[in-house]
């Protein structure tokens, strides 16, 4: 029990010190994710989109802490997110992607000799997957790579614009 608490505290400090990525870089505008209402499908309000982006970033921050705690205990990142909930609860539940109803945030682990890293992805306000981890993420390079930077959501392009909400470890 105390070992788990200690590693979680260390992981929290690491995430705070390292920053572990964030959302950056402009992209081009795209179609919004429509919200079902009694009247039909309507575009979400800007406040709704901002709330969803904030939720995705907050959930990614929590997952980053859990991933770093797992790493401290196991000296590798987990193969998938489900192992973070049992037998030791590094996080109580795997957060769902606020832009992809019913689906968890996407997780990609990079584990090659000399390279350890991870990438968390939310579909973003346009509702489609812009980031392909195999193509856009290289754990051995400084992040974001140019390929990844082109596909990251940036609210300065308009609240509902192209790109995914992303967080990484490098």
Q: Which residue has the higher pLDDT, 144 or 158?
A: 144
Q: What is the mean pLDDT of residues 111-118?
A: 86
Task: State the pLDDT at residue 97.
Answer: 95
> In the predicted model, is pLDDT for residue 82 greater than 90?
yes
Alpha-carbon distance values, 90 to 1, 55, 56, 81, 94 (Å): 11, 19, 18, 10, 10
What does the buried/exposed string (b/e) look like for 47-57 if buried means 16 or more CB atoms within 10 Å of the residue's CB? ebbeebbebbb
What is the pLDDT confidence band of residue 143, given thresholds at 50, 70 and 90? confident
Q: Average of pLDDT values for 16-22?
A: 46
Q: Does residue 11 carry a pLDDT above 80?
A: no
> What average pLDDT score do residues 17-27 get?
42
Would you state the pLDDT for residue 115?
Answer: 86
Q: What is the DSSP letter of 160?
A: S
Alpha-carbon distance 168 to 22, whole Å?
A: 7
Backbone angles phi, psi at 162, to 5 degrees: -70, 155
Find out whether 23 and 162 touch, Cβ atoms under 8 Å: no
- The arithmetic mean of pLDDT across residues 83-88, rounded, is 92
Token pair 């992209």 in the structure block, residue: 27
Q: For 40-81, how does the pLDDT look when each residue is reduced to its tens digit (9 = 90+)? A: 666 778 888 899 999 999 999 999 999 999 999 999 999 999
pLDDT at 111: 83
**pLDDT, mean over the chain:** 80
Find the domain containing 9 and state its range. Answer: 2-169
Q: How many domains does the chain have?
A: 1
H/E stretch holding 166 reads: strand 165-169
As a whole number, mean pLDDT of residues 113-140 equals 89
Q: What's the CA gap between 13 and 125, in Å, rounded? A: 30
40-42 and 35-37 as β-strands: parallel, antiparallel, unpaired? Answer: antiparallel
Question: Bigger pLDDT: 30 or 15?
Answer: 15
pLDDT(107) > 60: yes
> What's the average model confidence in pLDDT over 120-148?
89
Tokens found for residue 162: 């192209």
Percent with pLDDT over 70 in the chain: 75
Q: Specify the residue for token string 């400084």.
A: 142
Structural tokens at position 83: 């192992």
Beta bridge partners of 110: 117
- Residue 119, pLDDT > 70, answer yes
SS3 percent helix, strand, coil of the chain, rounded to 5, is 35, 20, 45
Residue 164 and residue 153 in contact, taking contact as beta carbons nearer than 8 Å: yes
């Amino acid at each position: 029990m105390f070992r788990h608490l200690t590693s979680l505290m260390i992981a929290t400090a690491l995430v705070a010190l390292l920053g572990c990525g964030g959302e950056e870089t402009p992209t081009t505008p795209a179609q919004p994710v429509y919200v079902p209402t009694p009247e039909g499908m309507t575009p979400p309000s800007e406040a709704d989109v901002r709330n969803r982006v904030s939720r995705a970033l907050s959930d990614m921050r929590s997952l980053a802490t859990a991933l770093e705690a797992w790493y401290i205990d196991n000296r590798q990142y987990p193969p998938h997110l489900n192992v973070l909930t049992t037998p030791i609860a590094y996080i109580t539940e795997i957060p769902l992607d606020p832009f992809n109803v019913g689906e968890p945030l996407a997780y990609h682990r990079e584990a090659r000799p000399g390279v350890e890293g991870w990438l968390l992805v939310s579909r973003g306000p346009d509702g489609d997957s812009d980031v392909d981890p195999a193509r856009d993420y290289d754990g051995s390079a400084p992040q974001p790579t140019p390929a990844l930077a082109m596909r990251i959501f940036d609210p300065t392009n308009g609240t509902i614009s192209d790109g995914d909400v992303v967080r990484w470890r490098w």
